[in-house]
Structure 1
Amino acid sequence: MPLAFHHLALQCHDLARCERFYVEVLGLPVLRRWPREGGGDRSVWLALGDGFLALERAAEPPAESGFRHGAAGLHLLALRIAPGERAAWEARLASAGVEVVHRTRYTLYARDPEGNRVGLSHHPEEAA
């Protein structure tokens, strides 16, 4: 399966304001909300073509964990992979000397040479 756009994630200091812009001004529909501990939204996913735009609340307080950080702006470029290709992609990254800095049930996360996060995701399908 060739790589394809899966989603782009933006970290926002004012999540509600960003959501209003993308929904009310640009007309992107809400796909899903992810709650945060203590109430409110941690993330809002908006439909965008065959993928989605994830608006993520910037970490409070800012903390670098390899997965989230406190800076607003680009958080992640995610590329779509087939669920059955996950192990092969992990091996390919390892053979190229690229560390997988975080794993979830659906996504492998690495960093490009500039430090930007890149995800290889098969969400919502389970890995084979």
Structure 2
Amino acid sequence: MIHHIAISTQNPETLKNFYISIPGLSFEKDHFYRDGGLRSSWFLAGTIRIMIEKEEISKAPHALIFSATKKEERDLIDSLFGNSFIEKTDFTKYLKDPDGNRLGFSSYPDPWN
């Protein structure tokens, strides 16, 4: 079982603002340094946490792929990110977040249509 996926960034506020717009993710909470700076933001994707964490050197995963099995979800994703897709297959559309990390939305086992 996956407990969480950590995505490192030098700019946690920028990534937080991006990930908060992804359908199906719900913002859970922020964590701060003692000086008040944002250390991490946590989101829930079902029961799996996605943690945006401040790091000086990014060590993000190769790709983070979200499920988009319902037509309504795919339509919303197309309306939010349609101009940002950099690659498409029959089942998955890919884009990059503000830090250049590769994201995707997969409709598998059904084609995206």
Alignment TM-score, normalising by the size of structure 1? 0.43
Alignment TM-score, normalising by the size of structure 2? 0.48
When Rg is computed on C-alpha atoms for both structures, the one with the higher figure is: 1
